[in-house]
Amino acid sequence: MDLGTIILGTVVAAGVLLLAWVALTFNSFVRLRNRVEEAFSGIDVQLRRRHDLVSNLVKVVQAYARHERETLETVVNARGAAINAGSLAARQASENGLSHSIDRLLALVENYPDLKADRSFRKLHHDLVELEDHLQYARRYYNGTVRDFNTRIEQFPANLLAPVFQMRNREFFELESPAERHAPEIVMEQPS
């Protein structure tokens, strides 16, 4: 073999290795991006269930607390804003607003012992607490997939290809304060 053939073989082998690395890196980006999107769909499902549950909760509370119109309207408006939020940042802000409204609504319930004893309300409250747990798990999974995706596109040498494939960091889905990380709770009294 002459020197030209060796050089040509080396260049071709290096090109094939580079192409294989680019393909593997791109595929890992796609796999992680799809996991992030799938994880967010889990959050989305829980948020939709939450919106439906809040609507039912408002109806039950409304039957007992007719003169608490302002609080009920606040919850309904916060629910509407959460449903119509577009970007992730807007969604986080509107869901935080809805959480505040739910907390106010549940605090209002303390003034209505008959409502607290109502079977429908107790079932809805139980479902809300359960749903908040599911939502917390969905957020945790989503944030874990975002962490993995962001880490992958920031690591060398994959970070050289991330801009070429238009891979950008994703935002985490977080709540405003640590106090918001727990489901709202009220003390349920057993009916006599």
Which residues contact residue 169 at a Cβ distance below 8 angstroms, ignoring those fewer than 6 apart? 149, 150, 153, 154
In the prediction, which pLDDT does 192 show? 47
Query: What does the pLDDT look like over 45-99, one tens digit per residue?
Result: 999 999 999 988 888 888 777 777 788 888 889 999 999 988 888 898 899 899 8
89 token code pair: 């940042």
In the prediction, which pLDDT does 179 show? 45
CB 72 within 8 A of CB 54: no
79 token code pair: 């629910």
Domain 3-181: CATH superfamily is LemA-like domain (1.20.1440.20)
pTM given for the model: 0.78
